[in-house]
Structure 1
């Protein structure tokens, strides 16, 4: 979803979601920010559950430390119910202290240990355990037994290993589209999940994208990064922009997706740098050719 783009409204978000649902895509994803003008993630989850029927809905990522874990578990269980069991919960610690401060959360909790503690509470809620001496447990029960699939959002081997005991897979991001580096991280996940006696992890990565001809796609990515990365000095973003994310033609995108498929990537989450629906249509043509 183009949630980090300006001037969004109900019609655009609905049309984007339905275009994804009608297309050859496997999932519909969106991220969370607080000190930004994006739609609130959990409210959007309810709308997306109503606007779609087929694709999985994936939060990439929600930050548990910004929420009460019981209320977050209840909201996610509700989203799972409304979507008919199509929810995957991607979670991470986030990278911006301003989002923590905006909701009165302690930036000192921005750790994997703190996130894992909140996941444990969420799992208890989804299992139907009482978290207080209430008459009934917190509901509704999720459609998926034991709760939605959990993906950990990280790029670090150490934090990835620490998640092997509770996560079902990885929702990563690659800035420079280095497939060899991504495969090395995937190998860390494969080894860590095997050592923990877990099933093979779901391996997903993501990158910013812009599809088109000539210099326009790279300029589109640059504009998006300047807006989104507003906490970073603009000269640093300017220096990053030529090599961050992907920009090119449909043929170029086909080659990139094939390269990541060859290293065993289960899913790629493409992060929009425009709210132009034609971007979705052009990517859909590429994905349809690869299926």
Structure 2
């Protein structure tokens, strides 16, 4: 199982040098990818620009957009962003897409929250056509630049539930899941659901399975830092629910993280993403030790 690290873009203390420092350190470590997520009405930097910086200062790791909330955006612009990122990374780009769950982000971008699942299906089909070189309308030139990867990068679906998974099985190359607790049983169930839906859709390939969890390492009071981060990040759910979910987060010691990684591998994950709750670069050093010990 490969192990990637997300940038700590949602954590307090993210500053001017964080993107480049973290991307370079991740590229130098025993990790498979550097990833960035999308959120608008929060304190984080914008995803595509941040991924561009990551692509420019790394040479080895995959660059994972995890994920585009596709219904929020004009598809031609996303296609151009993907082509640009694929060029900047020389074909190291992977893309995940989903519907998101934050109505405020949709409202802030003037996008329609209602019907977002059907919007996702429709926009993925349009995106694939554009990445394959089809023009956005008759008489137009194709959207550029062309991807280094023929037809564009693989597309993962941020789908967890049965309905979303069945829809994703028609167009995705795999899934990008998440478990706040890093629970092996939860990861197994998502993977089994994906396999089932892929088979029902008549797919002849098995889905790529990516998962992850929130993690705090390398800082004093890591458990408290993890809890505080998760409660703040999920605050849009309301304080009571956010606190309840935050209480389940547990990846705040090397020992627990090693246990979570072992469980995820046994659960059939192809790649597991560590999502940092802190911006201290010691996180990367400690995570690298945990990953190296598994070799």
Q: Same fold (TM over 0.5)?
A: yes
Match of 1:184 in 2: 189
TM (norm. structure 2) is: 0.92
Matches within 5 A, 1:1-291: 1-111=7-117, 113-195=118-200, 196-211=202-217, 216-243=221-248, 245-291=249-295
Distance 2:120 2:34 in 1: 24
Deviates more, 1:184-193 or 1:265-274: 184-193
Cα–Cα, structure 1 residues 74 and 255, in superposed 2: closer, same or farther, change >3 Å? same
Deviates more, 1:247-256 or 1:269-278: 247-256
**Kept after mapping to 1: 8 A contact 2:214/2:230:** no
Unaligned runs of 5+ in 2: 1-6
Q: CA RMSD in A?
A: 1.7
Match of 2:4 in 1: none
Distance 1:281 1:165 in 2: 40
Distance 2:144 2:180 in 1: 39
Cα–Cα, structure 1 residues 198 and 71, in superposed 2: closer, same or farther, change >3 Å? farther
Structure 1 residue 200, shift from structure 2 partner: 1.4
**Kept after mapping to 1: 8 A contact 2:86/2:92:** yes
Distance 1:285 1:199 in 2: 34
Distance 2:163 2:50 in 1: 32
| Secondary structure of residue in 2 paired with 1:170 | strand
Distance 1:25 1:137 in 2: 35
**Kept after mapping to 1: 8 A contact 2:175/2:210:** yes
Greater RCO, 1 or 2 (C-alpha within 8 Å, sep 6+)? 2
**Kept after mapping to 1: 8 A contact 2:217/2:282:** no
